[in-house]
């Protein structure tokens, strides 16, 4: 959106419930009244006339669904050269702090819509970093819940092991409000069987004093991968938590097999992509979606120049070649990655160091949109929580060369309320967010 006299920002700070709240949905979440494309021309007419359960929950609570937001096409899983925020349907999403820099992905449009004040909230989805990275680089709050707290039914999938929807907002309080509406069991999504029993009043659980006396673990083994400016912002944030009464514990050693997790994760994602996407496509209207399988989508892309003008589809092709959910390579990769990220990763770090949460920078400043330059992504805190299926919150913590950066709070399974409360206490202490166009030279 362009304004003749510059952006105008709406103050949504008095919103207390989702009743009447305007909300955007990422364009891989179904609504009965508009198409759901995942950014692909293959799904351009995909309008099966049904609400995803999370859409239905929002409507029932009185939220106003304003529309769909652009995303990295197919949620960034089509190509290893995918450009964050670009899709053949929606074009390139721009970062409002610097349009020449990435909005990150895949929930790019959801993050930008909130960042520029079009709505107080949007729904994103994450498989690994797709909520937290765009939230961080666009200066907003993003929350990836425990996998199984929020239904995935009628959301274009990547992985039933790691996919989840979650809120993207300007404040942690708004994230808690929205999560309280979309969380809950769904009989069509077996992963959510415990959700109703685990769900709490997330807004009521927020405590501005929750950092006082809390032992917080710094994943310092991650820090060398971030930019110098982001590390400096992080150190200031850690000091602010100390001032709020937190006890900071340095965790210098990465979990065992930490470096192997990425390879196992990719095997899992590509195998589940073929299985899960084929099931999703089979549920659509064949008159609207002639591509009935992943193989059909690959053929469609190969014949449609608008799809491959910027990058190809090597990950789709690798996914098509996978052997299915009974393939021993997949079974082993899923078991090993889950064990390494969860019980031997987050759980062990928290238990061994007696901490209630783990923290690190979410990522460094947004890199440029030019794939040929050397200003690339620096650092990421998303993988362990993504693979384990555990909650991950990012909250604005400062700036890296004038670009926003976030602080990640990560906890154990079903510890969503605690993580939100700790992030809320940090947010109230620091008030680090600045809207686009209002970043000072000191930031």
Catalytic annotation, residues: 26, 106, 130
Q: Round to whole Å and give the CA distance between 1 and 301.
A: 29
Question: Do residues 141 and 176 touch, judged by C-beta distance below 8 A?
Answer: no
Q: Round to whole Å and give the CA distance between 284 and 147.
A: 24
User: Which 3-state string (H, E, C) describes the chain?
Assistant: CCCCCCCCCCCCCCCCCCCCCEEEEECCECECCECCCCCCHHHCCCCCCCCCHHHHHHHHCCCEEEEEECCCHHHHCCCCCCCCCEECCCEECCCCCCCCECCCCCCHHHHHHHHCCCCCEEEEEECCCCCHHHHHHCCCEEEECCCCCECCCCECCCCCCCCEEEEEECCHHHHHHHHHHHECCECCEHHHCCHHHHCCCCCCCCCCCCCCCCEEEEEHHHHHHCCHHHHHHHHHHHHHHHHCCCEEEEECCCCCCHHHHHHHHHHHHHHHHHHHHHHHHHCCCCCCCCCCCHHHHHHHHHHCCCCCCCCCCHHHHHHHCCCCCCCHHHHHHHHHHHHHHHHHHHHHHHHHHCCCEEEEECCCCCCECCCCCCCCCCCCCCHHHHHHCCCEEEEEEEEECCEEEEEEEECCCCCHHHHHHHHHHHHHHHCCCCCCCCCCCCC
Q: Round to whole Å and give the CA distance between 424 and 396.
A: 11
Contacts of 430 (CB under 8 A, 6+ apart): 237, 240, 397
Token pair in block for residue 378: 């620096």
Instruction: Identify the bridge partners of residue 24 per DSSP, sorted by sequence position.
Output: 67, 122
Question: Do residues 285 and 44 touch, judged by C-beta distance below 8 A?
Answer: no
Token pair in block for residue 194: 């415990």
Q: Round to whole Å and give the CA distance between 39 and 26.
A: 10
């Amino acid at each position: 959106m362009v304004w003749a006299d510059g952006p105008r920002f709406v103050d949504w700070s008095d919103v207390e419930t989702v009743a009447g709240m305007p909300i955007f949905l990422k364009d891989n979440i179904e609504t009965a009244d508009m198409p759901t494309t995942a950014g692909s021309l293959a799904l351009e007419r995909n309008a099966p006339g049904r609400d995803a359960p999370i859409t239905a929950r929002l409507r029932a609570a009185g939220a106003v669904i304003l529309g769909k937001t652009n995303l990295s096409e197919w949620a960034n899983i089509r190509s290893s050269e995918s450009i964050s925020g670009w899709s053949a349907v929606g074009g390139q999403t721009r970062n409002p702090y610097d349009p020449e820099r990435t909005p990150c992905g895949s929930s790019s449009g959801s993050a930008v819509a909130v960042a520029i004040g079009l709505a107080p909230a949007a729904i994103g989805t994450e498989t690994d970093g797709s909520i937290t990275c765009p939230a961080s680089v666009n200066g907003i709050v993003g929350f990836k819940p425990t996998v199984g707290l929020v239904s995935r039914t009628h959301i274009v999938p990547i992985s039933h092991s790691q996919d989840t929807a979650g809120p993207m907002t300007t404040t942690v309080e708004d994230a808690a409000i929205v999560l309280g509406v979309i969380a809950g069991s769904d009989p069509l999504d077996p992963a959510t069987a415990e959700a109703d029993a685990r769900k709490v009043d997330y807004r009521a659980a927020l405590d501005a004093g929750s950092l006082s006396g809390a032992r917080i673990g710094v994943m310092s083994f991650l820090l060398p991968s971030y930019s110098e400016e982001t590390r400096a912002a992080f150190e200031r944030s850690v000091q602010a938590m100390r001032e709020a009464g937190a006890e900071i514990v340095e965790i210098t050693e990465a979990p065992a097999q930490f470096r192997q997790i990425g390879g196992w994760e990719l095997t899992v994602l590509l195998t589940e992509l073929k299985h899960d996407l084929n099931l999703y496509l089979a549920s659509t209207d064949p008159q609207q979606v002639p591509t009935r399988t992943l193989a059909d989508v690959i053929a469609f892309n190969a014949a449609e120049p608008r799809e491959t003008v910027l990058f190809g589809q090597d990950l789709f092709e690798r996914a098509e070649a996978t052997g299915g959910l009974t393939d021993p390579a997949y079974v082993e990769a899923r078991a090993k990655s889950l064990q390494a990220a969860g019980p031997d990763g987050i759980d062990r770090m928290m238990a061994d160091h007696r901490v209630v949460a783990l923290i690190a920078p979410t990522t460094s400043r947004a890199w440029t949109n030019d794939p040929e330059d050397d200003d690339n992504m620096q650092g990421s805190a998303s993988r362990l929580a993504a693979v384990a299926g555990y909650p991950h919150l990012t909250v604005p913590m400062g700036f890296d060369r004038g670009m926003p950066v976030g602080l990640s709070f990560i906890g154990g399974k079903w510890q969503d309320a605690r993580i939100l409360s700790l992030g809320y206490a940090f947010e109230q202490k620091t008030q680090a967010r600045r809207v686009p166009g209002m970043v000072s030279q000191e930031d």
